[in-house]
Amino acid sequence: MKLQIITPDKKVFDGEVKLVQVPGSKGSFQVLNNHAPIISTLENGVIKIIDASDKTSTISINGGVIEVKNNKIIILAEST
């Protein structure tokens, strides 16, 4: 899956991932390969990323929006 995390200032992450866990407005959820299309708002919290080489990283955000479609994930975060 392709993941992009973008803030108004810069592109924070751009790469291939296996798993993304996000702080959704109705609760935390994760996105895996072939996830159904979804658009959701995000709360303040931490995004957990497992990249293609199984490295885990986290990014703190102050809210935003996620769109998942055709194995492409775009997160527009208010700030990191």
CATH number at residue 70: 2.60.15.10
Mean pLDDT check: name the lowest of 20-24, 39-43, 70-74, 75-79: 75-79
Query: What per-residue confidence (pLDDT) applies to 37?
Result: 97
pLDDT at residue 80 above 90? no
pLDDT tens-digit readout, 4-53: 999 999 999 999 999 999 999 999 999 999 999 999 999 999 999 999 99
For tokens 């703190």, the residue is 60
DSSP track, the chain: -EEEEE-SS-EEEEEEEEEEEEEETTEEEEE-TTPPPEEEEEEEEEEEEEETTS-EEEEEEEEEEEEEETTEEEEEES--
Structural domains of the chain, count: 1
Q: Which domain holds residue 56?
A: 2-77
pTM above 0.85, yes or no: yes
